[in-house]
Amino acid sequence: AQSVSQHNHHVILSEAASLELGCNYSYGGTVNLFWYVQYPGQHLQLLLKYFSGDPLVKGIKGFEAEFIKSKFSFNLRKPSVQWSDTAEYFCAVISSASKIIFGSGTRLSIRP
Amino acid sequence: DVKVTQSSRYLVKRTGEKVFLECVQDMDHENMFWYRQDPGLGLRLIYFSYDVKMKEKGDIPEGYSVSREKKERFSLILESASTNQTSMYLCATSPGGRDTIYFGEGSWLTVV
């Protein structure tokens, strides 16, 4: 069965630290990959997405993610986090038409 | 901008009551989804619809039903609410295929 794994459930960082959130999926075919963010009290928003082409994709608010097909990974990165990045982050994969699989989410807490 | 509107943000219902959660989208999207979000479990798909009057079960359809009489509206129905259905319910839409999914703000349902 298809699955998406986010191994870090809760990450705590200080401001200006670098961030990397892991995401691995299990599916051997063509995939579209997404990172969504949910700020406290707000709805899920698209952070970035990969459909094809350059495996390094840039999103909003300085986030980027790299698709490594051989590792079935799509890790999210940010060089220097801010307190406002406190949120929950979800990785998601679409491998067949219309059905998206989400990871269980990673809660990011930033210490001022 | 895609707008996905969930009619009720916060509801409190009694055990055994019938509950309707409404979702309306304004982008003429083919696909609509209902998820529930619980801490540590991420997003779990309840039902989705890829056309008017069409529906398919997701991963956790038990205790729920849906209705899609018009393209822009997708309703989630809890026939007889139970306390284990206390959760955040998220409606989402997408144009179809493996395209981006857009979320509403969510409906917090508490069953007492």
Q: pLDDT by residue (tens digit) across B56-110? A: 999 999 999 999 999 999 999 999 999 999 999 999 999 887 788 899 999 999 9
pLDDT given at position B100: 87
- Is B31 in a helix, a strand, or coil? strand
- Is B83 in a helix, a strand, or coil? helix
Average per-residue pLDDT for chain B? 93
User: Going by DSSP bridges, is the β-strand pair A10-14/A106-111 parallel, antiparallel, or unpaired?
Assistant: parallel
**A73-104 burial: b if 16+ Cβ within 10 Å, else e:** bbbbebeebeeebbbbbbbbbbbeebbbbbbb
pLDDT given at position B45: 92
% residues pLDDT > 90 (chain B):
82
pLDDT given at position A101: 87
Contact B90 A43 (CB under 8 A): yes
- Chain A hits for B106, CB-CB cut-off 8 Å, are 43
pLDDT given at position A98: 56
Angstroms from A102 CA to nearest CA on chain B: 6
* pLDDT tops 90 at residue B47: yes
Contact B98 A94 (CB under 8 A): yes
Angstroms from B69 CA to nearest CA on chain A: 19
Can you tell me the distance from the alpha carbon of B67 to that of B93, in angstroms, rounded to the nearest whole number? Answer: 15
- Cα within 13 Å of Cα(B31), Cβ side: 21
Selected residue of B33, B37, B101 to mutate for chain A interface (largest A Cβ count, 10 A): B101
Mean pLDDT, chain A cut into blocks of 10 residues (112 residues total): 88 97 88 94 92 94 95 97 96 78 94 87
